[in-house]
Chain A
């Protein structure tokens, strides 16, 4: 309960105060906190295309509608994903309600079976619907699960960035994420990551994520969204493009929209 209260307070602080100025000697933890909250928009609906490209250049396309709402604690989100493509899983729904102090609630609705089923909590390292993104890449883990160190500053695509090295705080976090460490290039203006390099548990380069088209979508709360991301797995040669075809801020989404009742609507 105390932990939850602290998170709420932190979230409120980041919602109300300006993010740390870039020119000062910022603390790595503060930067990562800024990164964690920078994309926590209060609610949105959108359409996403994920393109999977294998080493031979063959493409598979997944399209989905997404609806998301930030919970009252300012940390966790509820997200409802509905597949539009490919045709064999069209209508399949996926509802995840994050719980940073416990296990997430996750359900899947399979229209062919006409049934909603609760899923066991996933590992953060598990692939997000077969893409190169893991669940932990999509819904970022809390800052406290890693040790952070500011290495240097660098320019990425014209944006001044802090380069932060993050290592898991314990073996459980390492095994859950599948990462031995990661380097994050954080935009000094928006605090959104512009690039992330992931290393496996043997410290070999595993994946690189590049982030494009970062937009300030909720100026009153200084919240941003990246409309395009690209994740490349260096060990398999496979990559995934993640593109918002549509993004609409919608702070008015009700909790009732994130229920198994709504999940069963195609």
Chain B
């Protein structure tokens, strides 16, 4: 992904008009001849606040997504999917282009291979997935769907069927893609960012999974880097100002998950141990055990989902343990980003979803709460299908909690949003 600055305001003002006019034209070119499937969408968005903690209000954006699936044969295909965005039509520096998928996929009787840009999602829990080691998240993107936040990565993935219902997945990621976090634009300190060289040390992982006979489970292992940054105090400059390094620590992960139905109840649990390595005396965060576990139940057109969150960091150090105020400042930032305020972090998530009018109207409310200190997110979402090709989405995000808590630190990002989608 890249961002480019430019004088595009005049052109940007015409973008929504252009997108609407383009609708019938692109419909004519949307193609599905069996071998090639071409489709996409045009999206217009309004957010009452950006997600960048920059106090930018009333953001109107436009984007288009294009998807091309071409099959060379029944066993070989390419999948291309990209998004072009002008995230804020009234301001500069808000252009995005992003590859959502760009991979070649081939298969034989027992082996699937995917090479290229792809999403690698391992977790089975709802919304919070500690075993998604390979999945960076864009927490700043101004699009309403949760799926828009998960980023793809360049990777080689080979799935080998090892039993009737089990398979082994091997993944190598020869580059590193960090998560995107909201950051105030006027940072009060100078920070140097250091990204790991994936080419020098590719990230690797494997996952043994089984699906079937009323039981799904998996075991996974990962070696690579945390997608979240750690801030480390590195010293004082000649002018006396503190210098910091933002780096992505080396990480090893072990994961396991299980999904099973008990009658009409669906049970899921996902567990990961993540070991974070501190390098060369740099500040770090504590390795931790993270469990997400809960039930969901459907009753008529309603679905109820409840999960408990439990994270234990045995080597946790309170931020007050750092005597140096600069180190303490960095430790506080790290505690917020990694949501590591205590040795034991507890919380829960709940999602209540319902569909109406033969799925024309879909509603849901997602709530995530962490305890001690209490901080939470409430996210209502309403989706109304105007037709098979046009959709309206209304929603909001309400963050609450102490300023130095995970969700409390995002209070400036409280927002309501509307999106119009036109599919072709």
Q: Measuring CB to CB, which residues of chain A are less than 8 angstroms from any residue of chain B?
A: 52, 54, 60-61, 84-88, 90, 97, 99, 102-103, 105, 107, 110, 112-123, 125-127, 129-132, 238, 255-256, 259-261, 265-266
**Which residues on the A side are within 8 Å of B423 (C-beta)?**
86-88
Complex contact A54–B211 (CB within 8 A): no
Complex contact A259–B165 (CB within 8 A): yes
- Min CB gap A225→B, angstroms: 23
**Which residues on the B side are within 8 Å of A126 (C-beta)?**
298, 300-301
Contact of A120 among B107, B152, B296, B387 (CB under 8 A): B296
20 A–B contacts, CB within 8 A, in A order: A84-B32, A87-B424, A88-B391, A103-B261, A105-B212, A112-B147, A113-B147, A113-B150, A115-B123, A116-B211, A123-B298, A123-B299, A125-B300, A126-B300, A127-B359, A130-B360, A238-B358, A256-B161, A260-B212, A266-B69
Complex contact B79–A54 (CB within 8 A): no
Complex contact A87–B211 (CB within 8 A): no
**Which residues on the A side are within 8 Å of B6 (C-beta)?**
none
A60 to B386, CA, bound (A): 10
Complex contact A114–B298 (CB within 8 A): no
Tell me if B363 is interfacial: C-beta within 8 Å of chain A.
Answer: no
Complex contact A107–B391 (CB within 8 A): no
- Min CB gap B298→A, angstroms: 6
Complex contact B79–A266 (CB within 8 A): yes
| Chain A interface, >50% SS class | loop
Residue of A with least CB distance to B301: A127
Residue of A with least CB distance to B148: A112
A30 to B421, CA, bound (A): 52
**Size category of the binding interface on chain B:** 35 or more
**Which residues on the B side are within 8 Å of A110 (C-beta)?**
147
Complex contact B150–A131 (CB within 8 A): no
Q: Which of B365-424 contact A (CB under 8 A)?
A: 385, 387-389, 391, 421, 423-424
- Min CB gap B151→A, angstroms: 10
Complex contact B261–A121 (CB within 8 A): yes
Q: Measuring CB to CB, which residues of chain B are less than 8 angstroms from any residue of chain A?
A: 32, 37, 39, 41, 69, 79, 105, 107, 109, 112, 118-121, 123-124, 145-147, 150, 152, 159, 161, 164-165, 167, 211-214, 216, 259-261, 263-266, 268, 296-301, 355, 357-360, 385, 387-389, 391, 421, 423-424
**Which residues on the A side are within 8 Å of B121 (C-beta)?**
113-115
Known: A87-B41, A127-B359, A266-B79. 11 other contacts (CB 8 A): A54-B357, A86-B385, A87-B388, A87-B423, A112-B147, A116-B211, A123-B264, A126-B300, A130-B358, A259-B165, A261-B161
Residue of B with least CB distance to A95: B211
A116 to B123, CA, bound (A): 9
A129 to B360, CA, bound (A): 11
Which of B109, B211, B265, B297 has most A Cβ within 10 Å? B211
Asked whether A102 and B214 contact (CB < 8 A) given A119-B266, A121-B264, A261-B159, the answer is: yes
**Which residues on the A side are within 8 Å of B259 (C-beta)?**
117-118
A103 to B213, CA, bound (A): 9
Complex contact B360–A60 (CB within 8 A): yes
Residue of B with least CB distance to A260: B211
A104 to B172, CA, bound (A): 35
Complex contact B388–A86 (CB within 8 A): yes
Complex contact B211–A90 (CB within 8 A): no
Nearest first, the 4 A-B pairs at minimum CB distance are A130-B359, A120-B266, A87-B423, A114-B119
Complex contact A60–B358 (CB within 8 A): yes
**Which residues on the B side are within 8 Å of A99 (C-beta)?**
214
- Min CB gap B112→A, angstroms: 7
